Amino acid sequence: MVASASAVQGYFDALERGDAEKIGSMLTDDFVQDWPQSGERVRGREACLRIHANYPGGSPTMTVRRITGSGEIWVAESEAAYGTQPVKIVSILEFRNGLLAHQTDYFADPFEAPQWRMQWVERIG
């Protein structure tokens, strides 16, 4: 069984809803999630579910902007609302037998574009 873009979108939808049953059904028992910027690793389905269940204020609002990939490797670009500050997120998702086995998330705060390069760029969302 191979993952699909709709499976990736379904996973993020379940995260936003806080649907622990759905999230749990999509993860391998030995699921690993890495957050390189904070130096943290979540090891195992149960640890992941406990983090989501205990997230202060409930799950953040997420908007998936783009999903690319094929087979067992997928990348999702999204934006999450943590309070009033939107945070850009890139998630690398690795599937095994149709279940999510490893996820690495990179978080980036927005910043003002420098004026010096404005003549060569266009503004995006």
DSSP 8-state symbol, 59 = S
At residue 57, does pLDDT exceed 80? no
Q: How far apart are CA 105 and CA 57, in angstroms?
A: 20
pLDDT at 116 over 80: yes
Average pLDDT, the chain: 91
Any domain includes 121: no
Query: Is 115 part of any domain?
Result: no
Give the mean model confidence (pLDDT) for residues 76-82. Answer: 90
- Over residues 117-121, the mean pLDDT reads 93
Cβ atoms of residues 100 and 115 within 8 Å: no
- Count CB-CB contacts under 10 A for residue 59: 15
Give whole-number Cα distances, 71 to 8, 28, 75, 77, in Å. Answer: 12, 16, 11, 18
Q: Which domain does 23 fall in, by range?
A: 5-109
**Residue 32 maps to a domain:** yes
- Six token digits for residue 92: 């690398």
The model's confidence at residue 1, banded by pLDDT at 50, 70 and 90, is low
Q: Per residue in 5-27, pLDDT tens?
A: 899 999 999 988 889 899 999 99
Residue 84, token pair as written in the block: 């009033």
Instruction: For the beta carbon of residue 47, count every other beta carbon within 10 angstroms.
Output: 13
What is the domain-level CATH number for residue 17? 3.10.450.50
Q: Is residue 58 part of a domain?
A: yes
The answer to whether 78 and 60 have CB atoms below 8 angstroms apart is no
Domain count of the chain?
Answer: 1
Residue 60 belongs to a domain: yes
64 pLDDT exceeds 90? yes
pTM over 0.75: yes
pLDDT at 125: 65
